[in-house]
Amino acid sequence: MALGRCLTSHAWPKGKKTDYVGYVRPAGYPDSALICGIPDCNREAVIWLDTGEVESYEKGNRIFKGPSHFTKMKANGEGVFK
């Protein structure tokens, strides 16, 4: 499950069940509509990925599901930052 978190204050999230190993920038970053998922943070976010999602990105997938069925995030093609 991908997460949207800012790089300024909430980088390298620690999931309870998920290890996030890298991030990708959303389409249109930094002017995208993706905002950090921490309740009191309104900064632009990047998409944090686990190992399986990084592999999926490297195979061409650019759409990732978030923590609810409400959220899907589209990544650009710049690559994974680790």
pLDDT digits (tens, 9 = 90+) for 36-66: 999 999 999 999 999 999 999 999 999 999 9
How do strand 63-65 and strand 46-50 relate by DSSP bridges? unpaired
Residues 6+ apart with CB under 8 A from 19: 50, 51
Does residue 15 have a pLDDT over 90?
Answer: no
- The DSSP code sequence of 26-82 is BTTTTSSS-B-SSTT--SB-EEEEEHHHHHHHHTT--EEE-SSTT-EEEB-SS--B-
pTM of the model: 0.93
Extents of the domains making up the chain: 3-74
Does residue 69 have a pLDDT over 90?
Answer: no
Cβ contact 31:78 at 8 Å: no
